[in-house]
Chains A and B, each alone.
Chain A
Amino acid sequence: MIELYHWEPVSHSLRALICVEEAGVEYESHYVDLLEFQQFGSEFLSLNPAGQVPVLRNNGVAITESVLIAEYLAEAFPEAGLAPTDPLGWYEVQTWSKFIDYNLSSSLATLGCNHYLSPLIRSGDVEAMSEAVEAIPVEVRRPGWRLAITGDYSQEILANSRRKVSLVVERMEKSLANSEWLVGNTYSIADINTFAMIHGLRDLATEVAGDEVAPRTAGWYARIAERDAVKRALGRTTRHELGTVYAPGPEHSRWG
């Protein structure tokens, strides 16, 4: 049976949850509590040494990286029709997902941690948290958590995050002028990968991603939100109210 290791239904975990639900496969859900640092425990690290969720386990292989999980499920379960199979359609889905990852994943993490995670951490035992962060075995994950503790998000990085969100929304508005879906004329993992990020950004970057500035995006969002699979994925909230908790994500690109 397929096993999915995930956190709350936000960003990367939400992508994988929607994809397994849309694929219509039975799966065993394993909740990994990122605020308890379960992703840095030896058991989880043996599954993914990068210390990141989601991870999908199938046929004895641990599939990592949310975009690659989506592509894996699309190819492993072709009858679900999660992606076009012609070379150009597949290229467009892949490059759209890359564009979203490049511009939205780091931006959502920055805005979400600034607004929700950092105040949450700072209202608790900061000293204990600092000790736990310095003890994270995956060194590359420490800076993101350190930043959440200090809450020292510069105006520059916040503005750059909004700029990137705005860039994506502009392109979405253009694509959605000609089609109900982002790539071609069918719902695909390109829509899922984008939805999982826009879901939080409507709240965190309303001025560039809200209904008023992005009406076509709002319609597209509503079409996806009413799908049964998406409702089931969003219903997987465990310890936090939907969309009120984020974890440090991928860094912003250092070299264009």
Chain B
Amino acid sequence: MPDVKLYHWEPNANSGKPIIALIEKGVDFDSHYTDLLEFDQHKPEYLAINPNGTIPVLVHGDVMLAESTEMGEYIDGAFTGPALRPDSPEERWRMRWWGKFLDGYFGPSLSMIGWSVFVGPAVRSKDPDELRRNIERIPLKERRDAWTMAIYNQFPEKELQESQRRVQHGIRVMEDELGKSTWCAGETFSLADINAFCMAYALPMMQPDHVSHEKTPNLIDWLRRVYDRPSIDESFKLGRTPMAERINEVREIISGGSVK
């Protein structure tokens, strides 16, 4: 029995980060699929593990970790296997700069759009009383506000437009940064690539007007390099929604007719 348990939803966004990191590192772990659309993360048994009710959670022995970006550094430091952080302090800074950019700027905007088109509609048809009770037991105010917006479709148009603007700007930032080196932080694959991939893996399909061979050759080439890693196929086996089918569609888009 491995003494590592991972509570996660679909192998993308925040849940995808530790899944891919553990697989890249070769760590054997127990996967506990936690269904966001069934509010599993707000149920008492889950709150007993993580009182904040957020996914993912890594349990290693008697240690519980709930911050997905920093979890990557823990996984790299606590287990043997290929290094997921560069050696030099400068490249480590660059790796963390990506984390800050993704967590503080790009991710929240992309997530707001994702919740408005996917998570909100997916749960809205449930019993209204059940939905209300679910909102009431969400521990963090920020998460309560987000779920309220998603369930009752209260996204302000202005905010959605701002998110779309930031996603487009973020795509240009990524394209520029990826022109500087093979991988996000330099010449070695790192946690920055894992984190960026978890946010960007479906962009060629979701944002075809902004992410394509013509518009973002660096981003497309980098995506192809990450998609080629065996850990990606492994990680998507843990998914249960039709998201996995999207992967094949994205692979087709990025493989065909490179302009480079």
Contact = CB atoms under 8 A, between A and B. Distances in A.
Interface stretch (A8-16, A87-95, A150-158, A205-213): A87-95
Nearest to A139: B169
Given A72-B90, A253-B108, A255-B146, 20 more contacts: A64-B97, A67-B100, A68-B96, A71-B96, A72-B93, A76-B89, A88-B63, A88-B78, A90-B74, A90-B77, A91-B67, A91-B73, A91-B74, A94-B73, A98-B69, A98-B70, A253-B142, A254-B162, A255-B111, A255-B163
A59 interface: yes
Interface in A158-181: none
Interface string B119-154: 000000000000000000000111101100000000
Contacts of A91: 65, 67, 70-71, 73-74
Interface size class of B (residues with CB under 8 A): 20 to 34
Contact of A255 (B92, B96, B112): B112
A58 to B, nearest CB: 8
Nearest to B142: A256
A33 interface: no
Interface string B75-92: 011100000000001101
Given A65-B100, A95-B70, A256 B140 contact: yes
A254 B159 contact: yes
B212 to A, nearest CB: 25
A63 interface: yes
Nearest to B169: A140
- State the majority secondary structure of interface residues on B: helix
Contact of B92 (A75, A87, A253): A75
Nearest to B141: A256
Contacts of B146: 255-256
Contact of A87 (B74, B89, B108, B143): B74
A128 interface: no
A63 B94 CA distance: 8
Contacts of B69: 98
A87 B21 CA distance: 15
Contact of B109 (A64, A94, A255): A255
Interface string B95-114: 01100100010001101100
A1 interface: no
A61 interface: yes
B104 to A, nearest CB: 8
Interface in A221-256: 250, 253-256
Interface of B: 63, 65, 67, 69-71, 73-74, 76-78, 89-90, 92-93, 96-97, 100, 104, 108-109, 111-112, 140-143, 145-146, 159, 162-163
Contacts of A61: 90, 93
A63 B70 contact: no
B78 A87 contact: yes
Contact of B145 (A58, A67, A256): A256
B70 A68 contact: no
A87 B58 CA distance: 14
A72 B108 contact: no
29 contacts: A61-B93, A63-B93, A64-B97, A65-B96, A65-B100, A67-B100, A71-B92, A72-B90, A72-B92, A72-B93, A86-B77, A87-B73, A87-B77, A87-B78, A88-B63, A90-B74, A90-B77, A91-B65, A94-B70, A94-B73, A98-B67, A253-B108, A253-B142, A254-B159, A255-B108, A255-B111, A255-B146, A256-B140, A256-B145
Contacts of A254: 108-109, 112, 159, 162-163
